[in-house]
Amino acid sequence: MSSHLSPSSDGSCTRLAPFGWDEQLARDFHSLHAPGTVPARVIAEHRDRYVVRAAAGERAAVLAGRLRHHASRREDLPATGDWVAVDEGAGTAAIHAVLPRRSIFRRKAAGETTEAQVLAANVDVALIAAALPGDVNARRIERYLALAWESGAVPVIVLTKADLVDDVDAAVRGVRAVAPGVDVAPVSAITGAGVDALARWLLPGRTAVLLGSSGAGKSTLTNLLAGDDALRTGTVRADGKGRHTTTHRQLVQLRSGALLIDTPGMRELQLWSADAGLESAFADVEALAARCRYGDCAHQAESGCAVRAAAQSGALDPARLESWRRLRRELAWLEIRQDQAAAADERARVKTLHRAHRAHTRRKYG
Ligand SMILES: Nc1nc2c(ncn2[C@@H]2O[C@H](COP(=O)(O)OP(=O)(O)O)[C@@H](O)[C@H]2O)c(=O)[nH]1
Ligand SMILES: [Mg+2]
Ligand SMILES: [Zn+2]
């Protein structure tokens, strides 16, 4: 790439603007003081290989050694949607740094580890997809909402395959009851019904992420909004090569000018840090809790508990109350494990330090 395409020049700004680049990002990039690099956005992530979009076009990318060795936490490594600094030139790019994130969508990594996994970065809108026939699960939606609110993105619930159910309105009402203050949009990718209503969230230069179970219709919807077969979907392909499911997170440009990150379905969706997210997702329950007689009410057996009173009168669905309790317990338990993991990290760091010191001493005096 020629040197006149410095990131502050009009060339880079106008060519990256369709991917969400703006003045604040340009300032952040300059503060990195990384000579010989240009800004790029991560548009796909496959284990340790990436595809990035720089002003000059798409390039395959890998982590620069320094970034790989110095990132102490997995969540500090680039994820789809991140803005990164890559070296100039053609061929496979090395990613040297990740720019500060405006929002970060993360869950606890699956399995025994106490680590966060970043699902998407720099997302403005989280579209939580659930297929109307059989996939609408209030408890799972609450969980997605807690993570979405925590991420800093605005959640919207997209109920897909509306063509396959008779009473769409009843389903929408049911979902609204567990999603206070959140828009619920029923759509069909087959008839196109409701798809135009998504336009108000899919604005030029803005980034949305589509989350939800495998088979919910996320890739089909993405293709419809992108206007071509940008992604492979679960339908059998015309060439007879069989069904495709999304295997990695990928950012595509929509006809509206918005960016959309499609994701594979996730079997587990465990919370990471989500205190504020949980408060937003359960704003109705939190409002009740604020009216309990005692400030430290555990909503168990205390007198004057507004939460239990609402559950008893039917004003609050007892299943929703139980869900709130369960998610709060999950967070409390996770916090203990996070503290233990942090303490173990610190012990490992001190041990390494001592080992290095002993080796140094032996070399010098031994
Ligand atoms: N009837 C109907 N089928 C749909 C709709 N959207 C997607 N599908 C089908 O649902 C299946 C899964 O779709 P896909 O987009 O791969 O789901 P993903 O796993 O969420 O990406 C495919 O067979 C699609 O053709 C819809 O709006 N209506
Ligand atoms: Mg898919
Ligand atoms: Zn109470």
CA–CA gap between residue 289 and residue 293 (Å, rounded): 9
Give the residue carrying structure tokens 């869950």.
107
Q: What pLDDT does residue 232 have?
A: 56
Given a contact cutoff of 8 angstroms between Cβ atoms, the answer to whether 243 and 270 are in contact is no
Residues in the chain: 366
Q: What's the CATH fold of domain 10-100?
A: OB fold (Dihydrolipoamide Acetyltransferase, E2P) (2.40.50)
What superfamily would CATH give domain 105-262? Answer: P-loop containing nucleotide triphosphate hydrolases (3.40.50.300)
Kindly tell me if the per-residue pLDDT of 61 is higher than 70: yes
Given a contact cutoff of 8 angstroms between Cβ atoms, the answer to whether 79 and 151 are in contact is no
Ligand 2 center from residue 27 Cα (angstroms): 35
Pairing of strands 154-160, 125-131: parallel
**Closest-approaching ligand to the CA atom of 301:** 3
Ligand 3 center from residue 261 Cα (angstroms): 40
Instruction: Read off the pLDDT of residues 259-285 as tens digits, 9 standing for 90 and up.
Output: 999 988 777 788 887 788 899 999 999
Identity of residue 359: A
Overall average pLDDT of the 155-178 stretch: 96
Q: Is 194's C-beta closer than 6 angstroms to any atom of ligand 1?
A: no
CA–CA gap between residue 301 and residue 310 (Å, rounded): 14
- CA of 187, closest atom in ligand 1: 27
Ligand 1 center from residue 82 Cα (angstroms): 28
Mutate to test the pocket of ligand 1, among 233, 236, 261 (most ligand atoms within 8 A of CB): 233
194: left (phi over 0), alpha (psi -120 to 50) or beta: left
Rg for the chain (alpha carbons), in Å? 23
Q: Which of 63-72, 169-178, 233-242, 312-321 has the lowest mean pLDDT?
A: 233-242
Q: What pLDDT does residue 112 have?
A: 77
Give the residue carrying structure tokens 């299943």.
319
Spatial neighbors of 10 by CB under 8 A, at least 6 apart, are none
Ligand 1 center from residue 138 Cα (angstroms): 20
Task: Kindly tell me the sign of the dihedral angle through the C-alpha atoms of 226, 229, 232, 235.
Answer: positive
Q: Is 265's C-beta closer than 6 angstroms to any atom of ligand 1?
A: yes
Q: Is 98's C-beta closer than 6 angstroms to any atom of ligand 1?
A: no
Q: What pLDDT does residue 138 have?
A: 94
How many CA atoms does the CB half-sphere of 284 hold within 13 Å? 17
Q: Which of 159-168, 321-330, 336-345 has the lowest mean pLDDT?
A: 336-345
Kindly tell me if the per-residue pLDDT of 134 is higher than 80: yes
- CA of 164, closest atom in ligand 1: 1
Q: Is 215's C-beta closer than 6 angstroms to any atom of ligand 1?
A: yes
Q: What pLDDT does residue 230 have?
A: 60
Q: In degrees rounded to 5, what are phi and psi of residue 324?
A: -60, -45
Query: Of 135, 80, 72, 137, which is closest to residue 103 (Cα–Cα)?
Result: 80
Q: Is 224's C-beta closer than 6 angstroms to any atom of ligand 1?
A: no
Instruction: Read off the pLDDT of residues 90-113 as tens digits, 9 standing for 90 and up.
Output: 889 999 999 999 999 988 888 877
CA–CA gap between residue 289 and residue 366 (Å, rounded): 66
Q: What pLDDT does residue 69 have?
A: 85
Q: What pLDDT does residue 4 have?
A: 42
CA–CA gap between residue 147 and residue 120 (Å, rounded): 12
Q: Which of 30-34, 114-118, 301-305 has the lowest mean pLDDT?
A: 114-118
Kindly tell me if the per-residue pLDDT of 10 is higher than 70: no
Give the residue carrying structure tokens 């509206």.
256
Higher-confidence residue of 95 and 46: namely 95
CA distances 122 to 14, 30, 51, 115, 259, Å, are: 19, 18, 16, 20, 11
The DSSP 8-state label assigned to residue 126 in this structure reads E
Q: Is 218's C-beta closer than 6 angstroms to any atom of ligand 1?
A: yes
Q: In degrees rounded to 5, what are phi and psi of residue 359?
A: -60, -40
Q: Is 263's C-beta closer than 6 angstroms to any atom of ligand 1?
A: no
- CATH class assigned to 282-353: mainly alpha
Give the residue carrying structure tokens 């990384």.
34
- CA of 129, closest atom in ligand 1: 20
CA–CA gap between residue 42 and residue 52 (Å, rounded): 4
Domain ranges across the chain: 10-100, 105-262, 282-353
pLDDT class of 246 with cuts at 50, 70, 90: low
Q: Give me the chain's average pLDDT, please.
A: 87
CA–CA gap between residue 325 and residue 343 (Å, rounded): 27
CA–CA gap between residue 68 and residue 275 (Å, rounded): 30
Q: Is 168's C-beta closer than 6 angstroms to any atom of ligand 1?
A: no
Spatial neighbors of 189 by CB under 8 A, at least 6 apart, are 160, 161, 195, 217, 220, 221, 224
Spatial neighbors of 181 by CB under 8 A, at least 6 apart, are 280, 283
Kindly tell me if the per-residue pLDDT of 302 is higher than 80: yes
Instruction: Read off the pLDDT of residues 180-236 as tens digits, 9 standing for 90 and up.
Output: 999 999 999 999 999 999 999 999 999 999 999 999 999 999 999 998 666 655 554
pLDDT > 70 in the chain, percent: 91
Of 7-16, 65-74, 159-168, highest mean pLDDT: 159-168
Burial class (CB in 10 A: 0-12, 13-18, 19+), 298: exposed
Report every protein residue that has its C-beta within 5 angstroms of ion ligand 2.
Answer: 218-219, 246
Beta carbons within 10 angstroms of residue 138's beta carbon: 17
Q: Is 164's C-beta closer than 6 angstroms to any atom of ligand 1?
A: yes
CA–CA gap between residue 327 and residue 108 (Å, rounded): 13
Overall average pLDDT of the 278-299 stretch: 93
CA 361 from chain centre, in angstroms, equals 47
Kindly tell me if the per-residue pLDDT of 165 is higher than 60: yes
Kindly tell me if the per-residue pLDDT of 6 is higher than 50: no
**Closest-approaching ligand to the CA atom of 220:** 1
Kindly tell me if the per-residue pLDDT of 255 is higher than 60: yes
91: left (phi over 0), alpha (psi -120 to 50) or beta: left
